[in-house]
Structure 1
Amino acid sequence: MSTPVVFIHGLWLLESSWDRWATFFAEHGYDPVQPGWPDDPETVAEANAHPEAMANKTVGQVADHFADVISGLSEKPVVIGHSFGGLLAQILAGRGLAAATVAISPAPFRGVLPLPISTLRSSAPVLSNPRNRHRAVPLTFDQFHYAFANAVSEDEAKALYEEHAVPAPGAPLFQAAVANLNPWTEVKVDTDNPDRGPLLIIAGEKDHTVPPNVSSAAYKQQQDNPGVTEYVEVPGRGHALTIDSGWEEVADQALSFVSRELQKVG
């Protein structure tokens, strides 16, 4: 029986952003699962036409949604997440629900302290207006170009924007912004759980939204876990590293880590 791989997207994307990854992992003997966030529209066009469907999704609600998905699988899956999906992947791993985890440019959790200027600028379209907490907020092309696609050509950035960009719920960004001030935050990870399993954190060298020092700080928090914990920084890559023309390089790194770690226990 093939090991399931649950893919978790982040803000401003849909589960279709993982389509090429799902095919890639299926070709290597895994069983891909792309659940999406609760109530996600099926297409980019539908999401942009009805942004209200994306609003009012909190980190805790979405984490519980993916935990429910995992509970229905035949075995403990590999979990791969990008951006806020990378945070959610670590939350699920901290609950002991993952056989192995890959967190790519993961949004920070409580205890991750760096707050670079580029991160603030990337999240400003949401955080600049408190009313956005209960809204779904789209990015303009210029905002997407800075936050996601700064490391690719403008033509590729435009193509990525048209193919993938959707409104995102504001609530998770507001939660993350105050996570280190709120002991009861949902934006927290049990980094000490011995059932966490092996974890790989992947950063992009030129990422504006989650710069390498943020990913590295998450890695340092996770190093106390008895499980295997690794960190890789991919040169020359921005936040769009899972969807841009170099996606397969990142997928290869994720696959190599997952396959190696699962073989150890298989």
Structure 2
Amino acid sequence: MDSQCVSPTVIAGFPAIEASPAQTSAGRPPLLFVHGAFVDHNSFRPWLEFFAARGWRGVAAARRGRAGIGPARAKGLSVADYVDDTLKVIAALGDRPIVVGHSLGGLIAQQIAALGKAEAIVLLCPAPAAKLPAQKVALSTYLPMMPRILAGQPILPSAKGCATIALNRMPKEACPILHAQLVPESGKVYRELIFGSCKVDFSKISCPAMVIGGAEDRIVAPALVEWTAGKLGVAAEIRERHAHWLLAEPGWEMIAGSVADFLAEHWPQQRTSLSRIA
């Protein structure tokens, strides 16, 4: 689908992008895409296009600490702050959405579901509601940032570190481009992730759930993805030849297609009216 189908907007005061299908489908809730750490809502742009072509309205919104919304460099923000931001977006949407979260966004999605605010959740390489230990291959990236993480100060990985732990299945020529698009992240948020201080009451999650991870993920190990899936009572899908940035890695369309199939099982397409002129 043409990228022109994705339009900039503002939702609950947060910069956002939205994509609407040429034809709406009765009874389908909107998709709310929740981005991970160090990025903003634009990381999900191709996914909005993909799902709009399949009859889904999609929205991705930024959070505090990026896209011109203070505090600068996300200083002092917590995961709870990001959950609050997401709840404001959901309230502005007016309909309870299907929440698709990547990485840190996956943890936010779990907390949103536990509050009864999601029709379903799709978790992509989700940060767990438990300790997130650094894998051996990632130590050289994390150790230089640890003083700032422990102090709760903003952090940003080096280009080399980003390529090593997050973009290890991306084409090499894409890595510097993606690194240049990163934004500083709250050290407090990362401290909460590392020490597992963000809990989820899984007994309160009753909506459909899908959990996908990458076999070569150097940030959220496959075992942690499987742990989260187990807590939700579903089987994790661990994708070979994929790592943490499966949003855009070669073959990402296959993953998005599996998500579309999962959603179609619960919300079959029933086109009813034109919502925009093609």
Q: Provide the TM-score with structure 2 as the length reference.
A: 0.79
Q: Which has the higher helix share?
A: 1
Q: Is 1:221 aligned with 2:231?
A: yes
Q: Deviations over 1:119-173 (max 9, x none)?
A: 655544433435651x3212211010112111233223233323x3222111111
Which one of the candidate residues 165, 170, 173 is aligned to 2:190?
A: 173
Q: In 1, distance between residues paired with 2:57 and 2:177?
A: 29
Q: Secondary structure at the match of 1:93?
A: helix
Cα 1:55–1:156 shift into 2, 3 Å: same
Aligned to 1:54: 74
Q: In 2, distance between residues paired with 1:153 and 1:146?
A: 12
Assess if the C-alpha contact under 8 Å between 1:98 and 1:197 holds in 2. yes
Aligned to 1:226: none
Q: Deviations over 1:77-121 (max 9, x none)?
A: 1100100001111111111111111111111213x6876434655
Q: Deviations over 1:176-211 (max 9, x none)?
A: 2222xxxxx4x1112111x53011110001000011
Q: Is 1:11 aligned with 2:30?
A: no
Aligned to 1:151: 169
Q: Secondary structure at the match of 2:32?
A: strand
Assess if the C-alpha contact under 8 Å between 1:54 and 1:169 holds in 2. yes
1:5-44 matched pairs, under 5 angstroms: 5-41=31-67
Cα 1:4–1:130 shift into 2, 3 Å: closer
Cα 1:64–1:176 shift into 2, 3 Å: same
Aligned to 2:201: 190
Assess if the C-alpha contact under 8 Å between 2:65 and 2:75 holds in 1. no
Assess if the C-alpha contact under 8 Å between 1:122 and 1:209 holds in 2. no
Aligned to 2:90: 70
Aligned length: 243
Which one of the candidate residues 250, 256, 261 is aligned to 1:251?
A: 256
Assess if the C-alpha contact under 8 Å between 1:86 and 1:104 holds in 2. yes
Assess if the C-alpha contact under 8 Å between 2:148 and 2:155 holds in 1. no
Aligned to 1:182: none
Aligned to 1:142: 160
Aligned to 1:91: 111
Q: Deviations over 1:223-246 (max 9, x none)?
A: 2xxxxx342111111111113333
Q: In 2, distance between residues paired with 1:220 and 1:258?
A: 20
Q: In 1, distance between residues paired with 2:200 and 2:211?
A: 14
Q: Secondary structure at the match of 1:23?
A: helix
Gaps of 5+ in 1: 180-184, 224-228
Cα 1:123–1:114 shift into 2, 3 Å: closer
Assess if the C-alpha contact under 8 Å between 2:35 and 2:41 holds in 1. yes
Cα 1:119–1:86 shift into 2, 3 Å: farther
What is the alpha-carbon root mean square deviation over aligned residues? 2.5
User: 1:5 is aligned with what amino acid?
Assistant: L
Assess if the C-alpha contact under 8 Å between 1:126 and 1:132 holds in 2. no
Q: Secondary structure at the match of 1:69?
A: helix
Q: In 2, distance between residues paired with 1:248 and 1:212?
A: 20
Larger radius of gyration between Structure 1 and Structure 2: 2
Cα 1:113–1:8 shift into 2, 3 Å: closer
Q: In 2, distance between residues paired with 1:22 and 1:136?
A: 29
Q: In 1, distance between residues paired with 2:144 and 2:125?
A: 19
User: 2:60 is aligned with what amino acid?
Assistant: Q
Q: In 2, distance between residues paired with 1:240 and 1:28?
A: 23
Which one of the candidate residues 230, 245, 267 is aligned to 1:240?
A: 245
Assess if the C-alpha contact under 8 Å between 2:73 and 2:185 holds in 1. no
Cα 1:122–1:198 shift into 2, 3 Å: farther
Q: Secondary structure at the match of 2:61?
A: coil
Gaps of 5+ in 2: 1-25, 270-278
Cα 1:192–1:119 shift into 2, 3 Å: farther
Which one of the candidate residues 128, 131, 136 is aligned to 1:108?
A: 128
